[in-house]
Amino acid sequence: SALFDWLVDKQKETINNPAKACKAKVSVIAHSMGNYVVQKAMAAAWTRKNQPLLVSLINQLVMVAGDVDSDLFDMGAPDNNDGDAVANLSYRITALYSGRDSVLGASAGLKHFGMRRLGRSGLPNRPPLADPASPTDNVWDVDCSSFFPREVDGAGIHGAYFLHDGTINLIRHVLRGLDRGVLDNLGYTKG
Which tens digit of pLDDT belongs to each residue from 57-81? 899 999 999 999 999 998 888 877 8
Cα 141 off chain centre by: 8
Q: Is the pLDDT of residue 118 over 80?
A: yes
d(CA 162, CA 170): 11
Q: Using 50, 70 and 90 to split pLDDT, how confident is the model at 134?
A: low
What is the DSSP code (8-state) at residue 33?
Answer: T
Task: Domain ranges for the chain, please list them.
Answer: 2-141
Residue 172 has pLDDT above 80, yes or no: yes
Query: According to the model, what pLDDT value does residue 57 have?
Result: 83
Q: pLDDT tens across 6-43, in order?
A: 877 887 888 888 887 777 788 999 999 999 999 999 99
In a 13 Å sphere around the CA of 45, the CA atoms on its Cβ side amount to 26
CB 39 within 8 A of CB 82: yes
Helix (H) or strand (E) holding 31: strand 28-31
Query: 154-167 pLDDT, tens per residue?
Result: 899 999 999 999 99
